[in-house]
Amino acid sequence: MSGFDWLNEFVTRMQSEHVLVQASEAHALAPAQGLTLDVEDWGNAARIAANFGCRWAGGWGDVREEFIVLHACLAYQGDYLLLHTEAPVTQPVVPSHTPYYPGADRLERHLQDMFGIVFSDHPDPRRWTRHKAWPADQYPLRPDFPVAGLSPKRTPADSDYAFVPVLGNGVYAIPVGPVHAGIIEPGHFRFHVVGEDVLRLEQRLGYVHKGIEKIAVGRDPFALARLAGRVSGDSTVAHTWAACMALERAAKVTVPSRALALRAILSERERIANHLGDIGAICNDVAFAFMQIQFSKLREEVLRLNHAAFGHRLLMDRIVPGGVACDLNMETIAQLRAQHDGLAQTVKALNAIINDYPSLEDRLVATGILPPEKARQLGVLGYVGKASGQDYDVRRDHGYAPYDQLPVESPCLSSGDVAARMQIRALEIDQSISLLQALLNTLPGGDIQTTWTTGAGHGEGLGIVEGWRGEIISYVRLGEDSKVQRFFTRDPSWFSWPALEHLIHGNIVADFPVCNKSVNGSYSGHDL
């Protein structure tokens, strides 16, 4: 089944279990289909969807006058389905999706803290995002909450978060963070250990909460694109593309084909640069510093040509609503082609060394295993999911332009260990180079940007792209004045961070750094 051929069967199954469901034109968000549910049926719909085989891909809320509209995005065979329900602001009690989709846990807790939604049967009602920065009975994403917050005083320390205790003879706790010895973002990791073996890891994130969703409201499309590019600095291309795609669909703006090809070139170079850095860092975490030097050198060369060709090392603000802000000439195209050819040969040679290095194999193979079934339950995609048997890539399976005209070969392994996650990165670099050469060889002529006039349109839009960490989903609602009324973006890290808690089980504490680096979740992308 494909192209929503499965949707009738899905609706029939829900109706057979007495779930009231109807298609809603008001919630038709291309490329997704929409179904509206009664709030009492919200939990049952998740149960049926899980049994049907749908993947839970994200959830967000939106205040509309006296109601909170709740959205859940499901994916099936490359198609996307949005479920909608609404609850009164005065009593927003909704059944939870978490009992059927464990990956929904933190996003529902985020909705609880930001909107005041009560998920009646959620297994873990502890706050997730709030961190004592505002009173427990105040909710920042409601319209009456000020952007600057309610108190100029310093936020109290989040010292009484109720970490789950692990009791037993010889069990002890190791608190790590939120401030770390390395130059990384803040996050707290609470290990429970016997000897050196990790029994349980529990994370506490949210220390870099920036209020992205709140400060997006009232922005024009160009200001929103700039904000989206700063959700997670290492994914600036992917998040900006997803946000612009949502904006363009909301405003019914058509992007020139040359601009779409240039967006893909930017995205693949972002993927390559990050994968190069990660492979080197994984090797360094197990004392193979030589390989980090080699991959860091390659990454630096990619970043320098990014600056020369596109005007920014990390490619920030290169994608804009309606197109891109930079073009390529023949000389620069030749430089890019030459770098890609040389990079392919060098990475192949370095990978041959990695694959033949016994000490590296000893540290990476069978370390930090995420079983395929656990990856599926958590909804993990990207290199973490692909290393654990989750064969999905938005570029190939959902086929947005220009990838719908390109042969996208997405690697997939099943061992689920650190070695597999590193191997997926190497295979993706090779595939990205092939895509880049194809894009440069077939680069269309024409404009690189559609003129975006004030009041170009209003409505809702959904943007779905394959970032270097995996699937990114962005939702935008524009008002009559084309100003943003609601923005939400779901980084892949919402699902990969919980995966880290599971894959560390049974490993020793000393293996946590390499396990963590092999996942490399974004703190900033998670902490909106």
Q: Count the Cβ atoms, other than its own, within 10 Å of residue 508.
A: 13
Task: Tell me the C-alpha distance between 265 and 157, whole Å.
Answer: 44
CATH code that applies to domain 212-449+457-517? 1.10.645.10
Give the pTM.
0.95
Buried b / exposed e across 248-257, counting CB within 10 Å, b at 16+? bbbbebebbb
What is the structure's pLDDT at 455? 64
Token pair for 397: 């399976």
How far is Cα 273 from Cα 305, in angstroms, rounded to an integer? 11
Q: 168, exposed or middle or buried, with CB in 10 Å at 0-12, 13-18, 19+? A: exposed
At residue 39's C-alpha, the angle toward residues 34 and 42, to 5°, is: 65
Question: CA 197 to CA 496: how far, in whole Å?
Answer: 22
Query: 91 Cβ partners below 8 Å, 6+ apart?
Result: none
CA atoms 86, 89, 95, 98: torsion sign: positive
Per-residue pLDDT of the chain (528 residues; tens, 9 = 90+): 357 889 989 999 999 988 877 766 545 577 888 999 999 999 999 999 999 999 999 999 999 989 999 999 999 999 999 999 999 999 999 999 999 999 999 999 999 999 999 999 999 999 999 888 888 889 999 999 999 888 778 888 888 899 999 999 999 999 998 988 777 889 999 999 999 999 999 999 999 999 999 999 999 999 999 999 999 999 999 999 999 999 999 999 999 999 999 999 999 999 999 999 999 999 999 999 999 999 999 999 999 999 999 999 999 999 999 999 999 999 999 999 999 999 999 999 999 999 999 999 999 999 999 999 999 999 999 999 999 999 999 999 999 999 999 999 999 999 999 999 999 999 999 999 999 999 999 999 999 999 887 666 678 999 999 999 999 999 999 998 889 999 999 999 999 999 999 999 999 999 999 999 999 999 999 999
Beta strand 79-88 pairing with 33-37: parallel
Q: In the chain, where are the structural domains located?
A: 7-119, 171-204, 212-449+457-517
Dist CA 155 CA 392 (whole Å): 41
Identify the CATH class of 7-119: alpha beta
pLDDT tens digits, one per residue of 207-240: 999 999 999 999 999 999 999 999 999 999 999 9
Give the Cα separation of 144 and 396 in Å (integer). 43
Q: pLDDT, tens digit, for every residue of 463-508?
A: 999 999 999 999 999 998 889 999 999 999 999 999 999 999 999 9
Residue appearing with tokens 């990207």: 382
